[in-house]
Amino acid sequence: MLKQTAILSAISALIETEYAYPIYTNEIVEGFSQPCFFIKLIKRTDTESLNTNSNALSIIITYFASPDTNTEIAYLDMTDDMNLVFDTGFQVLDRYLHVKNFTADRIGEKQDILQVTIQIDYFDNTNRKEPVYDLMKKLNLAEHIRS
């Protein structure tokens, strides 16, 4: 089973290879240095069978630019760069997760925050253990014939 912490680590590592900016999760709400990234994962799981789940994962990467680079060109460049970083997918441990779609939007009161959403769909093992039952040792059968 692929854990979300492993996915988060892989995403952080990808971003760190391209940018020397701090990466936060949503626990930090103030006092962060800019430029920086925030990463949030939202996962939906559907049971396909006893042993298989299908997962839809939204990776939300929020970019806060430094005030001096807060321009339309800088946001367009960052959107293109992020699209190249994640391209068709990325490696997480022994799995390769394919990017289903990539969207970018500007948010905030001043539209000065870039938010990228990457959609990943993947199947995963449930790791459910089959219940273990005691085997029958002796079977007594009674036969009745009706006339």
Q: Which domain holds residue 42?
A: 4-125
Q: Is residue 130 part of a domain?
A: no
Per-residue pLDDT of 16-65, as tens digits, reads 999 999 999 877 778 888 999 999 999 999 999 888 999 999 999 999 99
Q: Residue 73's domain is classified under what CATH number?
A: 3.30.2000.10
Place of tokens 């779609």: 101
Total domains in the chain come to 1
Residue 33: the pLDDT is 87
Q: Model pTM?
A: 0.83
Residue 29 in domain = yes
Measured between alpha carbons, how far is 112 from 115 in angstroms, rounded to an integer?
10
Q: Is residue 102 part of a domain?
A: yes
On whether residue 10 sits in a domain, the answer given is yes
Residue 45 vs residues 42, 54, 90, 127, 138: alpha-carbon distances, Å: 10, 6, 20, 14, 43
Examine residue 100 and state whether it is found in any structural domain, yes or no. yes
Segment 51-108, tens digit of pLDDT: 899 999 999 999 999 888 878 898 999 999 999 999 999 999 999 999 999 999 999 8
**pLDDT number for residue 69:** 84
**Nearest residue to 4 via CA among 56, 48, 82, 47:** 56
